[in-house]
Every structure is written in C-alpha cells, then in structure tokens.
Amino acid sequence: MPVINFDSSASSGVHAKHERRKDARPGELLDAALELFVEKGYAATRVEEVAKLAGVSKGTLFLYFASKEELFKAVVRENISGRFQEWNTEFENFQGNSADLLRYCMTAWWQRIGSTKASGITKLMMSEARNFPELAVFFEHEVIRPGKVLMTRVLQRGIDRGEFRAIDMTYGAYILLAPMVFLAMWKHSLGACCDAGSQLVPEDYIALQVETILNGLSIRQTPPPLL
Amino acid sequence: MPVINFDSSASSGVHAKHERRKDARPGELLDAALELFVEKGYAATRVEEVAKLAGVSKGTLFLYFASKEELFKAVVRENISGRFQEWNTEFENFQGNSADLLRYCMTAWWQRIGSTKASGITKLMMSEARNFPELAVFFEHEVIRPGKVLMTRVLQRGIDRGEFRAIDMTYGAYILLAPMVFLAMWKHSLGACCDAGSQLVPEDYIALQVETILNGLSIRQTPPPLL
Amino acid sequence: MPVINFDSSASSGVHAKHERRKDARPGELLDAALELFVEKGYAATRVEEVAKLAGVSKGTLFLYFASKEELFKAVVRENISGRFQEWNTEFENFQGNSADLLRYCMTAWWQRIGSTKASGITKLMMSEARNFPELAVFFEHEVIRPGKVLMTRVLQRGIDRGEFRAIDMTYGAYILLAPMVFLAMWKHSLGACCDAGSQLVPEDYIALQVETILNGLSIRQTPPPLL
Amino acid sequence: MPVINFDSSASSGVHAKHERRKDARPGELLDAALELFVEKGYAATRVEEVAKLAGVSKGTLFLYFASKEELFKAVVRENISGRFQEWNTEFENFQGNSADLLRYCMTAWWQRIGSTKASGITKLMMSEARNFPELAVFFEHEVIRPGKVLMTRVLQRGIDRGEFRAIDMTYGAYILLAPMVFLAMWKHSLGACCDAGSQLVPEDYIALQVETILNGLSIRQTPPPLL
DNA sequence: CATGAATGAGCTTTCATTCAT
DNA sequence: GATGAATGAAAGCTCATTCAT
C-alpha cells in the first residue's frame, strides 16, 4: 500500500486520515466551492479541485452534496438567497426618508455583496446561465426575483411618500440593479485582469450612481420630452 | 503559431464577402464561430460544431486556425474594429442639444450593437475574460477604452454647454455604460432562458434609463446631502 | 478470512429466529441481503442498502462479513438447505398415481419455491454463476443435483408402474425442470418490468405445462417418426 | 510522447495509428461487444474492454455508438431481431406437416441461436432486465414479442390443420419457449462453469423436448382430469 | 461492539487535436 | 488542400472497504 502521508508520523503504515471534525466539513467545502466558482466559473471548476482546496477527497464532497449542481445551489443559498429575509426586515424597519434608504441599499449591497466573493456568483450566473438553464431558473427564483421585488419596494416607498417621481415600475428596479450588476461583472472580469480595472474605485462609482439616480428620480424635474 | 490574420488583406473595417469559394473558407468559419461563440460562450462551443456550421470538416478548421484559442482571437479581431471612427465623426457633427445627443447615443447603440451579435461578444468577454487575460487586454484597448472616451465626451459636451450639471468625470462614463452593458449581459444570459427575460422590452428599458439619467444630470436639481 | 458460519450453531435446517437483540444481528443482515440480492442481483446490490435495511451501519456489516462476496455466500448457505430431505420423504409416501404425483410436484414447487424469495436465488444463481464459479459449484451440488434426482425418480416411478412411456432418463428431468426454472427466471426479470409480464399467470402456466407434459408422457401415443 | 507501438516500425516518433479500414470498425466492435456481453453480462462489461478487444481506443467506440446502451441494442439487432423476417418467411413457405415444422423450428433455433453466442444475449436479458428496464422494454419488443408470435403461429397452424389438439393459446407459446430459454440460460450459467454442464448434450435435450411436446400436443389423447 | 466519515480506483462519456489518406 | 477516423486525457459520479472514535 504505497500511501504517502506527509501530515504526521502516522502510527501504522496504513492510511491515517479522518483527521478533521465532521461538523466543519460542509462549511469548508462551501468556502472552497465559492472561492473556485468565483475564480473560474461553474463549468471550469472541477469538483476534485474544490475537494482538494477543502482538504478532502473527491468522494467526501459527494458525501455532503449530491452533485456539482447541488453544491452550487448550496453556495448560492449560503451566500445570497438566505439574506433576503434580513434585508426585507431592514427595509420594513427603516425610519429615514427614501433617498437615504436608497443610499443605504446600495452602499450596504456593496459592503455585503459587491465587495465580497458573493458578487462573483452574480457574475457567474450572468456568464453561464444560458448553458445551465436549471441553475438559471434556480437563481432567478432565489436571487433575481426577490432582489427585484426589494428594489421595487424601495422605489415604490419613495413614490408613495411623494419623495420620488412616479416612474414606470415595470423596469424601475433595473435602474438600481443595472449599476450593481455591472459593477459585479466588471470586478470579476475586465477589472480583475486589466490595468483598466484599477481605475474604478467601487465606493466612488456607487456614490456617483446613487446621486445621479436620486437626482433622476427627483420630483422637482419636469422630464424632457421623449425623442 | 501559423496564425492567419485577415485584417491586413481587408482594406477597411467592413471586409468584402462573397469572394470565390476557396478564399471564402476562413470567412465562413469566422461567421460560424461568431454565431456559436455568441450563443454558447467560448468554452462550451465545440470546434466540430463550428466546422459543421461552416460546412467544412473539423480538420479543415485546424488548417486555418492553429487552435480553438486562435480561432477565437480571429473572431474578435474580425468583428470588433473601426466602428468608433464612424461614431466619433457622428458625435462631432451632431447639431442638437446634449439631451438629444445622449438619447441618440443609447438608441443607436441598441440598434447597432445591443440588438445584434456584437453585443454577444461584449457578453462573452465580460464572461470569460478572466480565463483569457490576453484577450481581455486586447478587448479593453480596442473596445472599452474608446467607448469610455466617447461617452465621456458626450457628457462633457453637455456640461460645457451648461446643459448637464458638473459631475465627476472619472466615472461619469459608467453612468451610460452600466445600463448598456447590463442589457447586453441580460439579453444573452438570464433573459435568454428564464420567463423573467420576456418581461424586459429593451427599447422601453433603454428609454426609461435614458430619461432617468437625463433627469439625474439635470442642473435644476440641488442634490440631496450624502449620507 | 474471518468468516462466521452460522450453520454450525443452528441445530437444524430451519434456524431459530427472534433470539436476543445482539445475536439477531447477523440474521437480520442475512434477511436484508436475501431481500435485496433477490430483487436486484448480486452486483447491483449495494452493501450500504443491505445495512440500512437491516437497521445497522455499513461498518457493522463488515464486522460480521469480511466482504460482500462472503455475505453472499452466507445468504446462499442460510437459505438453500435440507428441504430435499422433506420432499424425498413426501415422494416416498405418496399413494396416488404418477400423473397426480407429477401434478403435485409442480404445484407444490410453485407454492413453496416459485412464488417465494427462494426462486429469486435460483434466478440469481443462473444469472451470476459465471462471475462466481465457486458458488455455482456449491449451488449445483446443493440444489440442482438433488432436484434432478427427485424429478428423475418421479418419472421413473411412472415408467416402472406402466403409467408413463419409457423416455431417455438422461435428460428426462429437464422436461420438468425447464418449465419451472423458466418461470423463476421470467418472474424475476422480464415479467417484473414489462407489460408482457402481466400476461403470464403462474398457476395457469404451470397447469398447462403439467397437462402437456402428462399428455406427452402418455403411453397410448405412438410417437411420430423423428425428422 | 512515450507511446509504445508494437505493430510496426512506425516511420516517426509520433503515434502511428489509423491502421485499419473504417468499414470494418462497426462490425469488429459489435463482435467484440457480443463476445464480452455474453461472457460477463451487460453491467460488468466495460466499454474500454470492448474497444480494446476490437483493437481501438475508448473514444473510437463512441464514434460509432452513442452510448453503451446503443451498443448493446445494436448487438441485439445484429444478432437476433433482424432475423425474424427471414424466419417468418420460412414459416409461411413451409410445406410439411406441423410436427415437422415444430421439429424444424427448434432444431433451427439451436443451430442458429442456441449454439451461438446469440443465445448469450437471451441469457443476459433474463439476468439483467430488472436493472435495465429500458433494455428490457427494447428486448421485449424486438425479440420476445415476435418470438412469441412466431411460436404461436406454429402451434395455431397445427391446431387449424387438425394436427395438434386445441390448447389455450394464451400460454401455448411458452411450451416451446421455456425449453429453449432454459437451455440458453443453462449453457451460459451453470453449464459454463460446472462439471454438470457437460452432462447436457443440447441436441439430445432438444430432441427429447420436441418429441415430448409433440406427444403432448397429440389429439389422440384424452387428457387426464385436472387435480 | 458499533459507527459513519473518509477514501480512491473505476466507470461512462466528451472533445481538442493529430495525421494517413 | 481537405478529410474524418482515431486518440486519450479529463470530467462527474459511485461504492466496497477502512479505521479512528
């Protein structure tokens, strides 16, 4: 049995593994999976690499996650979709005016998602949705839809309170989503490998987008006629 | 690396099609590759499919392009080129006010890029840049940078003429780029495979974004204080 | 090979069940293994399923049986045993004519073997004997040979008493064995998964086979000339 | 490139394969597949082994057969189901009496199927149908059903011409099928690995079964009363 | 005694690339 | 030039078996 063990002076010649605690396994695997999915994308990430990064064997990964697809879904649930409840609560308890709420939304998004690996998941889904329709449907249900609902409620709150002008709510949410999704994409694509990336300071970009949007939603403005 | 570059033989950016059968081969392969790369992305496109769509055998493809990667580079070279010269000229000759110019920019982008396969290349580059750093640099130089310059000039024109308020020009261009890139991504990802996609009518989305941006750039607005 | 053989501890062929919890373990494992081996065959049965059905962990199974193969052998040892003694006694005590004896044989076979899990072992052995030559030899000695002997005695009784015509006894037993083995196979293969299976009512099939065989063994018939 | 080539004094160091004619490939693969499927069963046969036996690589097999399942289906079509047309024609053109027809059927079956590897396919299907339901359905449609129809027609011909007594046709075909299927099973299971196997001379077994069945179908016999 | 987390060889299938024709 | 048969290194996933607890 030519097993080479670098870890320790294992008592016997036979494999001496089983070294870690089982409770931590799923979390370690999810961390490793997030890391690699964000770095390489879904298709290009090998489950064996995920396992290796988590310090376990290929088989162990499948002990905790039934398939690569389920692993990915768990990563999404862990890092994104599970948080909407908290965010909805924050929204409902928010006391300030709607401009401040909108500012808070976007800066909080940056701090909690945009600046973390979680934003890489958004990038990944936009990149690979077409080749993995089941994942796309899952992501749409778990992330896009609740995200759109929340953004719509933020805008509607402003309109209802007379703070924002009444825009078409069909696409209203995209006014807020587009800058965030763009930033997530940018950060994990061109921004991650070109000099150009260093030219975009996310906090400043967010601040500019927020203020322009707020100005754009201002009720004091008579909108110019369409083309 | 026996890479054949067709740019040199084509006098202008718009290359001549429908030449004699033999000489048309590489062009047909590039067309087929564009079609499939846009539809499925780089990694998920199989060279055999490209060859079949071009009506040749797999072996023939490798006669013209040393590898899948070289094929991809050739596609980018062929399709992303001197369009900015034309657009810069249009910009310089534009007679109307800056609001109309901005409207024109975004609707023209949709008609010429967003609604065509060209937007698929943008999507693909944002998706796979990290796995192809060389291509990312190439794309940044050839597309992103001139695009940013043009958008910046549009905004600066408005500020200089007293039509837009003076915003920070470092990231100003992204106010216009983010909605366009987001739309290109959306169209080729979640919009292409989820029900949610059918809810986004590009022309309406563009119109709302334009008007909100214009309102946001309005000088009549005293911006609300930052958080 | 720490193989545990429970045959020696069981006084007779019918072993005592429902002992104390601890001692019942191996028996529960054997029952579960019989169930699953019959249902899915040897190769397709997973040891984890056997353990789960027996209500123990995978590790426990390997505590009692050195390997999957040893488990299988134990199942065969446990379930194929001294039934022939009983049957031979029944044969010797049978009072009626040989046609009725033959009828009795085949209907009793169906009731005691054909319609029970025991027929699944016959099916499994016929299916996987080639991959387990040792087991095949064992099965031939313990089951096939005594069965053939018994069938031969039934036929010989009829011939000796002038009830059946004198056929070649070398293969005579197969006239009775073939329909039974075919039914056992059919029931556990195509009959278990195709519509065709529902068309075969075992009792009717047996009845028709019996009567045709009896007619075929009739002495009143001048056999037609061979080809 | 440590490729070892024993076949020839290959001109260069790079792999020198492509040595065989392409038209023979599918046939060679089907032969190899038949060989191994019959020897080891469906599940236990590795496609790589099939390829190796055919003298090609794993990838080449998938060039001709989309999957292991399709390979198996092709083997069945090649060796069994494609022959029913011929057999039906033989049946329709048969001029002799029905006893001779029945004799001809079973001896021809032995010569063409029973004594060849094709009988191994029947054994395989009876063994693994339950674990591969799709294959079972396929086999039922392609082999079992037409076989049953043909056997039924043989019996019906005899009854219609007043040569056989009128038995229940629901299971009549099984009177002929059971001895043949039993023989196929026996030959490829216990008969292939036990001494017992050598005791069964197929031609004699077939002859005895045929004559007993013919006698059993005789109209001159008043059937004994059922139990 | 009993557990079940962990292993890793092995399976079917894919696909960029090669090269004799 | 052009072909397409052939390759073989991976990939995702399974499961009998081990062993620290």
Best to test chain B binding among A215, A220, A222, A226 (most B CBs inside 10 Å): A215
C-alpha A75/C-alpha A67 separation (Å) is 12
Q: How far apart are CA D225 and CA C187, in angstroms?
A: 28
Helix (H) or strand (E) holding B154: helix B145-160
Q: Which long-range contacts (CB under 8 A, 24 or more apart) does B6-11 make?
A: B6/B30, B6/B74, B6/B77, B6/B78, B7/B77, B7/B78, B7/B81
The answer to whether the C-beta of B6 is closer than 7 A to strand F is no
**C-beta atoms of C208 and D41 within 8 A:** no
- The lowest-confidence range among A135-144, B44-53, B137-146, D44-53 is B137-146
Q: Are C193 and D44 a contacting pair at CB < 8 A?
A: no
| CB proximity C59–strand F (7 Å threshold) | yes
Alpha carbon distances (Å) from A54 to A36, A78, C147, D67: 11, 16, 59, 34
Give the Cα separation of B49 and D180 in Å (integer): 49
Answer whether any strand F atom is within 7 A of the Cβ of A40. no
Q: Can you give the distance from the CA of residue A59 to the C1' of nucleotide F14 in angstroms? A: 9
Burial of A198 (0-12, 13-18, 19+ CB in 10 A): exposed
Which tens digit of pLDDT belongs to each residue from D80-113?
A: 888 899 999 999 999 999 999 999 999 999 999 9
Q: Which two tokens stand for residue C213?
A: 């065989």
pLDDT per residue over D153-202, tens digit each?
Answer: 999 999 999 999 999 888 889 999 999 999 999 999 988 877 655 578 89
For residue A215, give the nearest of B40, B194, B218 by CB distance.
B218
Q: Is the dihedral of CA D61, D66, D71, D77 positive or negative?
A: negative
Residue with tokens 């840049």: B129
Beta strands in chain B (DSSP E): none
Decide: A61 and A51 in contact? Cβ < 8 Å. Answer: yes
Verify whether the Cβ–Cβ distance D189 to C130 is below 8 Å.
Answer: yes
CB contact at 8 A, B126 and A127? yes
Positive or negative, the Cα torsion across B184, B185, B191, B193?
A: positive
**Alpha-carbon dihedral angle through residues B16, B17, B23, B28, given to the nearest 10 degrees:** 130
Q: Which of A145, A144, A213 is nearest to A175 (CA)?
A: A213
Put simply, the answer to whether B208 touches A130 (Cβ < 8 Å) is no
Q: Residue A155 and residue A151: Cα distance in Å, rounded?
A: 6
Neighbours of C31 (CB within 10 A): 19
pLDDT number for residue D26: 87
The bases of strand E with some atom under 7 A from any protein CB are 1-21
How high is the mean pLDDT of chain B?
A: 84
Q: Which one is predicted more confidently, A224 or C1?
A: A224
Q: From CA B219, how far away is CA D120, in angstroms rounded?
A: 87
Q: Which domains does chain D have, with CATH numbers?
A: 8-68 (1.10.10.60), 80-217 (1.10.357)
Which residues on B lie below 8 Å from A190 (Cβ)?
125-126, 129, 136, 139-140, 144
Q: How far is CA D39 from CA C73, C167, D46, D119, D135, in A?
A: 22, 34, 12, 11, 18
Provide, in whole angstroms, the distance separating residue D46's CA from nucleotide F10's C1'. 18
More confident: C10 or A74: A74
Please give the Cα distance from B187 to B208 (Å, whole number): 17
> At residue B3, does pLDDT exceed 80?
no
C-alpha closest to that of C197 among D140, D123, D167 = D140
Task: Give yes or no for CB of B2 within 7 Å of strand F.
Answer: no
pLDDT digits (tens, 9 = 90+) for B151-195: 999 999 999 999 999 998 988 999 999 999 999 999 999 888 776
Where b means 16+ CB within 10 Å and e means fewer, A39-53 reads bebbbebebebbbee
D27: distance to nearest CA of chain C, Å?
26
D44 C-beta less than 7 Å away from strand E: no
Average pLDDT value for chain D? 85
Torsion of CA D190, C132, C116, C180, to 10 degrees: -10
Measured between beta carbons, which residues in chain D are less than 8 angstroms from residue C128? 41, 127
Partners of residue A126 in chain B, C-beta under 8 Å: 126-127, 185-186, 189-190
| Model confidence at A203: pLDDT above 90 | yes
Dihedrals phi, psi of C56, to nearest 5 degrees: -125, 175
| B14: amino acid identity, one letter | V
Is the CB of A63 less than 7 A from some atom of nucleic acid strand E?
yes
Pull the structure tokens for residue D78.
């090649």
